[in-house]
Amino acid sequence: MLVPHSSSADAPQPMEVVALVEPTSTVENQPIEKPISNEFTWEIENFYGLSAEEHYSDIFNVGGYKWRMVIGLNCPGHLSLYLDVADSVNLPYGWCISAHFFLTVIDQYDAGNSYTYESEAHHHFSAKASCWGFDKFMHLTQLLDPDRKYIVDDKVKVGAVVTVKAVNDSKKETGYVGLKAQSDTHYMNSLFQTFYHIPFFRKVVYDIPTTKNDMLSESTPLALQSLFCKMQYSENSVVVKELRKFFEFRQYDVLEFSRFLCEKLEDKMKGTIVEDKIQKLFVGRQKNFTKFVNAECQLEKEESFYGLRLDVRGCRDVYDSFEKYVKVESLEGDRNYNDAQLGQQDTRKCVQFISFPPVLQLQLKRFEYDKYGFCTRKVRIMLPLILHRD
């Protein structure tokens, strides 16, 4: 078996931690009031010439969703047969389809002898299990049985009867819809959905002045207003279409994208009633200290930040990550500090927070550079993301 609306706010609220992850995507979830069934037959030509790879049928529709059959010879001595949701990558985040189905190898001379033994299945199709069926659907000796006409003129016919019993209606169940997945935009979708659920940010975006002459393809504020409006009132998942055009020629990590998006909005907010409101929501202040070990000298520099990148390697939780961020770092030998007046100096560096913003964006460093392999590797670790606010 394959295993396959919230109200607006007039001012920023107390600090809220937002974890920026690369997230995951989101197709139309059409509510189904009663089961819908359909049958499909697939004639496979040149059967004896099939490779061990899986082969896919044409697409057929049941309950407003696209399906296809999958046949394989990848399990030694057996014919494998599955049912697959053909457009699963385009479906909305959290989609789930409950389906009941029969898969059959058809006797081409006598349909009553068709092979359906133990081939009935119930399954909740989802992003993690969009293909389901049987690795050992039928032994090849049965398929080649001379008393049955499963193979005629090097052709095999297989069939499926699919009944879609229920589809999750995310709008009805949660009050929200998701964003459709598109290539390389999962981090965008994640951020847009996060920002949408910050009432103050959504109100600021709606309050950015636009004119009737503005075009979605040329105005970032108008495109974001349109996206938020669709997310608020649409019954189905939404496509991030116009906004993608502003950012598709450059690859970002999610925190870089957050900063770049906010800067584009702030450019349009200058001189308006919402000027500087995004900065008041997301920007904190910190002070960087550099102390020379062998000289009575210390450098201090205060700067703002839109978010923090925190290490996760060797950390038990987010508090450990913060401790690592502010930990005193020694720079000695080849890593020492080169001062314009004092020359090369062994130093101690650290960071001290001055203020946190109402919404603190955290990017957990899930990737790190392997200096021996000269490549970036993913850090596979579970980090509890729990912070307590005072």
* pLDDT tens per residue across span 69-120: 999 887 888 899 999 999 888 887 777 888 889 899 999 888 878 887 545 6
Domain with CATH 3.90.70.10 in the chain: 16-26+177-280
C-beta separation of 360 from 16 below 8 A: yes
For residue 245, what is the enclosing H or E element?
A: helix 244-247
Least confident of 17-31, 57-71, 240-254, 349-363: 17-31
pLDDT at 24 over 60: no
- Residue carrying structure tokens 């590797």: 377
Grade residue 273 by pLDDT with cuts at 50, 70 and 90: very high
- Contacts of residue 206, Cβ cutoff 8 Å, sequence gap at least 6: 8, 225, 228
pLDDT at 39 over 90: yes
Domain with CATH 2.20.210.10 in the chain: 283-378
pTM (2 d.p.): 0.57
C-beta separation of 308 from 360 below 8 A: yes
Instruction: Give dist(CA 145, CA 150) in Å, integer.
Output: 8
Domain 283-378 homologous superfamily, CATH: ubp-family deubiquitinating enzyme superfamily (2.20.210.10)
Mean pLDDT of the chain: 81
pLDDT at 68 over 90: yes
CATH code of the domain occupying 16-26+177-280: 3.90.70.10
**CB-side neighbour CA atoms (13 Å) of 23:** 24
CA distances from 280 to 195, 203, 301, 355 (A): 15, 14, 21, 11
> Of 259, 371, 381, 367, which Cα lies nearest the Cα of 320?
381
What pLDDT shows up at residue 234?
84
What pLDDT shows up at residue 145?
87
What pLDDT shows up at residue 28?
41
Domain with CATH 2.60.210.10 in the chain: 36-170
359-389 per-position pLDDT tens digit: 999 988 877 766 666 776 766 666 666 665 5
Grade residue 211 by pLDDT with cuts at 50, 70 and 90: confident
pLDDT at 2 over 60: no
C-beta separation of 312 from 365 below 8 A: yes
pLDDT at 334 over 60: yes
What pLDDT shows up at residue 26?
36
pLDDT at 177 over 90: no
The more confidently predicted of residues 75 and 248 is 75
User: Which CATH code of 3.40.605.10, 2.60.210.10, 3.30.420.40, 3.90.226.10 fits the domain covering 36-170?
Assistant: 2.60.210.10
Grade residue 339 by pLDDT with cuts at 50, 70 and 90: low
C-beta separation of 21 from 309 below 8 A: no
